[in-house]
Structure 1
């Protein structure tokens, strides 16, 4: 898509800004004017993960464009700092979503793409100023991190690769109202750091056609896994900008499960409730560790090429009326997660692994969660400052939505979240048996950067 900056002149009253991130993930930001802001929607496919993000922003006026040179790519330390920040934010949001998942059964499942949410918000951060920028940076754990957007530029390179048996792809795009006056610096930075070029569309006169065009791009980027990201009514004649981020992942297990040994089994939701599942089985050498204090087994399942892995954290047993996840989730921190999954604390052992087929599709409205994490002014008209987008303090985020999907089977995954003592099991007469036949936590990691792409809790089939 070509950059269409020259046509963005003129002024417009109360236009919404939409930020979209499909992962097989999507994000959408829409500005709601005097009327209201709409929510976006996305889908993801089997053996896959995906996510969507929508934020609505309202604008009252625009200003003249300016331009500036982007900084050079950051050193690896900057990318490491952003990766750490993203992991901390991922755990914050995971706990917030987990706490909000009331009840039991399917309602307790959690799945989202922290990479999708973080990247979308980082793009929005480029246009934030003053207190709004400070709140966003702190909530994203990016305060004090130098060259944030340059680091994201490097991460995008790590996220985009194809190796034998796996595909990982992240793409960004801007859809802007033709004739609207976006700041040139914002457009240039979006293109340089996030490879998000601008396409001019006619929201004012043909918003339905614009919506379909955006959905078609998202569907193409996610191999058809996310369809109709933008529901009817999400964009309207007041929409001025839609920022889209799509992430797609499809990977085959390095050690595939044999479908012939998959059997019917029971998944213990709690001590009193069970549901039928298809339980896969594999005896192979995996990186393994055991967190003694929490009584949790951790297994890393690499995908072909070993660029990405799924890591599962399985409590040994359900305790009383709990699932064993409560203590584990409360102990999850950047430090503990690193300790538990670092190479020096994991041993290559022959593990008998029992893992269910599972498929999750979750939708979230993130407004309240993000506000509780510290982004209060972002959603408050009159307080939000996104003048880095259009030169005026008339934009605010009115709605943030996120949708994610994952499916795991014998072949692999397709995806379009106080430190305990660790006992390293470096040798054993008999290999450990890990039965994921009760609630567990899992995440998909890009190994070269350590970035958590997808994070979830599987509590019920």
Structure 2
């Protein structure tokens, strides 16, 4: 039992390490535009990829995912991610969460039973046989329709139906997240102000959400930056508060964490710090509530879609994409034909997030395609203090990094940065 728990902790640390490496690499390619992506979705994509891999290819995937073994990675994704972090809590007033994964294979290629059992049993997914060879457009449209349903239509397309490709196998996972703030913002307090860009210019009329003077918030002040942690509501409060307290003890706790550099052009230096160690983010989260003075946080909606094949290759994943060396023989094959040699042709990632006075809505999808080739429980507004404390300002009027995290597991569900809140990309 101790060994199993240790292996789950190793997977958790591996997930945090992957999130840091991905943030550093993806941010490097988005220095002039906004960014939103889901490290968790990509980590699950690696787990799904590992289900079809063997030998050196499997070892390389597990190394990047930070997992001791494939069994440990599957146990972690099933027990921590699917059944806890991404379990829907909308029925009790908490976040509306949806996780889905699917595998589409050309009807001429029989899935191996062990692979099908992993997708369906471990990841609570579904498998389909489609006609990629003769009806590629219709097959890709079917996948896009599945993505749209899984993400509540926040993401409607991840595959171009008319893209010329000889794809024979596609694996996708989708995450949808929508939650209210534990203490929502008053729309009447929202004002338009200017936002300072990295080049020294400004954009006007940016809607900023505000808090009343001396409203208590989780804020930490560090050398060169400040961190705001906005908790999402985890369940409905009853009149006594007893029910919600007991319930919250066993519920995931989500929050948005905003890392704001002191300097207007300090974002990239802060990203370097954030990605220096996997533990950096968690170690610098606020530990208490403080009264706020000036408080402004911009509303924004961000979208990101790109191939992340190059990103994954840059952080160490090469064999699954190699047409000669990839060993993805655990996906398709039967006793008569034997195992078929596939490789991962492409990995597409798309994410969307919107933040406003009520809360946040976000979704992410990661798609792999193969070709046949050889916590705190106290309320923000009721923290007793023996005497008045100095107020802390938090004015996010210049570029910042943000994360949506699950606090008890340390899982980074979404990550990104805001360079210009008036732009969606």
Bin for the TM-score computed over the shorter chain: 0.7 to 0.9
- Who is 2:66 aligned against? 141
CA contact (8 A) 1:127 1:186 kept: yes
Give the Cα separation in 2 of the matches to 1:198 and 1:313.
40
For each residue in 1:18-67, what CA deviation from the matched residue of structure 2 results, as whole angstroms up to 9, or x when unmatched?
xxxxxxxxxxxxxxxxxxxxxxxxxxxxxxxxxxxxxxxxxxxxxxxxxx
Per the TM alignment, residue 227 of structure 1 is displaced from its structure 2 partner at its CA by 0.7
Q: Does residue 88 of the first structure (1) align with residue 35 of the second (2)?
A: no
Q: Does residue 340 of the first structure (1) align with residue 284 of the second (2)?
A: yes
- Who is 2:82 aligned against? 156
TM-score (ref. length: structure 1): 0.75
For each residue in 1:234-258, what CA deviation from the matched residue of structure 2 results, as whole angstroms up to 9, or x when unmatched?
476x433221211100011111111
Q: Which runs of structure 2 are paired with 1:295-374 in the superposition (5 Å)?
A: 295-305=224-234, 307-318=253-264, 323-332=265-274, 333-341=277-285, 346-352=287-293, 353-374=295-316
- Who is 1:192 aligned against? 121
Q: Which has the higher contact order (CA 8 A, sep 6+)?
A: 1
Q: Does residue 251 of the first structure (1) align with residue 179 of the second (2)?
A: yes
CA contact (8 A) 1:208 1:235 kept: no
- Of 361, 365, 382, the residue aligned with 1:414 is 361
CA contact (8 A) 2:7 2:68 kept: no
- Who is 2:250 aligned against? none
* Residues paired across the two proteins, number: 367
Per the TM alignment, residue 393 of structure 1 is displaced from its structure 2 partner at its CA by 6.1
CA contact (8 A) 2:10 2:68 kept: no
Give the Cα separation in 1 of the matches to 2:73 and 2:360.
30
- Who is 1:454 aligned against? 414
Give the Cα separation in 2 of the matches to 1:75 and 1:250.
32
Give the unaligned 5+ runs of structure 1: 1-71, 418-425
- Who is 1:13 aligned against? none
Q: Any idea what SS the aligned residue of 1:169 has?
A: strand
CA contact (8 A) 1:78 1:145 kept: no
Q: Which runs of structure 2 are paired with 1:209-248 in the superposition (5 Å)?
A: 209-234=138-163, 238-248=166-176
Q: Any idea what SS the aligned residue of 1:404 has?
A: strand
Give the Cα separation in 2 of the matches to 1:259 and 1:397.
47
Give the Cα separation in 2 of the matches to 1:408 and 1:190.
32
Q: Any idea what SS the aligned residue of 2:155 has?
A: coil
For each residue in 1:330-379, what CA deviation from the matched residue of structure 2 results, as whole angstroms up to 9, or x when unmatched?
112222222112xxx61111224310011111122212221111112221
- Who is 1:439 aligned against? 399
Per the TM alignment, residue 173 of structure 1 is displaced from its structure 2 partner at its CA by 1.6
Q: Any idea what SS the aligned residue of 1:180 has?
A: coil
Mark the CA change 1:235 to 1:454 in structure 2 (over 3 Å): closer, same or farther.
farther
RMSD: 2.4
Give the Cα separation in 1 of the matches to 2:52 and 2:148.
27
- Of 321, 325, 328, the residue aligned with 1:386 is 328
Give the Cα separation in 2 of the matches to 1:290 and 1:145.
40
Give the unaligned 5+ runs of structure 2: 236-252, 334-338, 365-384
Give the Cα separation in 2 of the matches to 1:437 and 1:217.
38
Give the Cα separation in 2 of the matches to 1:359 and 1:88.
27
Q: Does residue 269 of the first structure (1) align with residue 190 of the second (2)?
A: no
CA contact (8 A) 1:285 1:348 kept: yes
CA contact (8 A) 2:11 2:65 kept: no
Give the Cα separation in 2 of the matches to 1:244 and 1:304.
29
Give the Cα separation in 2 of the matches to 1:457 and 1:372.
21
CA contact (8 A) 1:79 1:152 kept: no
Q: Any idea what SS the aligned residue of 1:455 has?
A: strand
Q: Which runs of structure 2 are paired with 1:106-121 in the superposition (5 Å)?
A: 107=33, 109-121=34-46
Q: Any idea what SS the aligned residue of 1:173 has?
A: strand
Q: Any idea what SS the aligned residue of 2:76 has?
A: helix
